[in-house]
Amino acid sequence: MTSAFLAPAPGARPSWSSALRRQVRRVAEAAVTPLEVDDVLDVFVPLRRGAPLRGRIVAVRPETADAATIEIKPGADWAGHVPGQYLRIGIDVDGVRHWRAYSLTHGPRRDGLISITVKAVPDGKVSDFLVHRATVGTTVHLEQAAGEFVLPETVVGQPTKLLFVTAGSGITPVIGMLRNLFPATDTGVLRLRRSDDLDIVVVHVAPTEPSSIFRDDLAALDEAGAIRLVARYDDTHGVLDVADLDDLVPDLAERRTFACGPAGLLDALEEHHRAAGVELFVEQFRTARVAPGEGGAVTFAQGGTVVEADGATPILDAAEEAGVLMPSGCRMGICMGCVLPLKEGSVRDLRNGEVTTAVPGETDPRGVLVQTCVSAAAGACSIDH
């Protein structure tokens, strides 16, 4: 809870109320020691202004057998977003915080809620949790919205031809744009004057029609004449060949193309559009992964030093042999003094062979803590030191 107080005039003595607040704060601090007052507030008022940004799940709505829309009430410091942007969400699963990026699937809402639509992927810790295990009331960690995959301001209100090419969950940022341009009401899709001059084609690819996220929304937009939908299902039409776009969208060269989907599709589109001299904007979240190996280059981010380490030597030893000053209390019997954040790449625990991997954009942005005295490089990796 917060209260507003008038600031005392210059030179005036502090008010009785402000003095009382300080006293109450001191009493509260004494009562919760060794914790901090903010630690207690984090439990009871996690969405308060000034706290680390969090959100509370208020609804989980299934979209398909393996996808769901998650509605979230963000904390008081949420700064809003532009349709097409994404946010990074942190979930604590089995005691470990994992981060993933998901597109916001709507424009700004009057109720202040935000929503993401998540497709569960095999072995996906966060996606599986959100789709199948998250419940109303679950608190999640948030970062502010980010991303440049948005419509230019000059598009709205001007005669403009657009093409959206999406595949699978790549439809999520695009549906946010479309919902903002053509809001859905109880009586159907609302055609706004500011969107009258837009000519939009959506080519959406999915493995099957039942697995197609937002198929009903897209069909409603197509029926209302807001877009022209070209739905392609792998089991019916075969895998999309981007060369077919020339026939599916005859005036493609006159359109600005926005694409979101798997890396293979985006790579093919970039090659196709480059050869045709057509403008293309892409959105891709997932970082290319490198399979853990044996040894590799260890980069120490702060100093930029690179040390070649084999797969059997602890990173601590390899770094010290190369002249890097490393934190450590191991040799004095002080455990955990060598712990540093792994920012990217993989390391292998020499005690049990377990591999720890950090993926920018997915794991904690501060890094994954590892013990350098018992961890060896499992391929190229980066340590924040």
pLDDT at 88: 87
My answer on whether 101 and 175 are in the same domain is no
My answer on whether 199 and 264 are in the same domain is yes
Residue 100 placed within a domain: yes
My answer on whether 84 and 123 are in the same domain is yes
Confidence of residue 25 (pLDDT cuts 50, 70, 90): low
Confidence of residue 330 (pLDDT cuts 50, 70, 90): low
Residue 87 placed within a domain: yes
Cα–Cα distance between 142 and 78 in angstroms, integer?
9
**DSSP of 133-185, one letter per residue?**
I--TT-EEEE---B-S-S--TTTTTS-EEEEEEEEGGGHHHHHHHHHHHS-EE
My answer on whether 252 and 187 are in the same domain is yes
pLDDT at 68: 93
Q: Which phi and psi angles does 225 have, rounded to 5°?
A: 80, 10
Cα–Cα distance between 381 and 359 in angstroms, integer?
10
Residue 324 placed within a domain: yes
Residue 305 placed within a domain: yes
pLDDT at 364: 79
Q: What is the pLDDT of residues 99-145, one digit of tens each?
A: 888 899 988 888 999 999 998 887 788 889 999 999 999 999 999 99
My answer on whether 241 and 175 are in the same domain is yes
Among the candidates 76, 108, 142, a domain finishes at 142
Confidence of residue 219 (pLDDT cuts 50, 70, 90): very high
- CATH number of domain containing 115: 2.40.30.10
My answer on whether 303 and 363 are in the same domain is yes
pLDDT at 139: 92
Residue 3 placed within a domain: no
My answer on whether 69 and 105 are in the same domain is yes
My answer on whether 268 and 306 are in the same domain is no
Q: What is the pLDDT of residues 268-279, one digit of tens each?
A: 999 999 999 999
pLDDT at 264: 87
Interhelix angle 215-223/171-181, rounded to 10 degrees, is 40
Lowest-pLDDT range of 187-191, 239-243, 271-275, 343-347: 187-191
- CATH number of domain containing 181: 3.40.50.80
- Count of structural domains, the chain: 3
Cα–Cα distance between 171 and 259 in angstroms, integer?
9
Q: Which residue would you say has higher pLDDT here, 177 or 33?
A: 177
My answer on whether 321 and 275 are in the same domain is no
Mean pLDDT (the chain) is 84
Among the candidates 86, 113, 142, a domain finishes at 142
pLDDT at 78: 96
My answer on whether 170 and 279 are in the same domain is yes
Among the candidates 227, 256, 283, a domain finishes at 283
| % of the chain beyond a pLDDT of 90 | 47
Q: Quote the domain boundaries for residue 305.
A: 296-383
My answer on whether 341 and 364 are in the same domain is yes
Residue 155 placed within a domain: no
Residue 30 placed within a domain: no
Q: What is the pLDDT of residues 53-103, one digit of tens each?
A: 999 999 999 998 889 999 999 999 999 999 999 998 988 877 777 888 889
Residue 5 placed within a domain: no
Which secondary-structure segment (H or E) carries 119? strand 114-119
pLDDT at 287: 47
Cα–Cα distance between 141 and 52 in angstroms, integer?
8
My answer on whether 67 and 88 are in the same domain is yes
Confidence of residue 4 (pLDDT cuts 50, 70, 90): very low
- CATH number of domain containing 327: 3.10.20.30
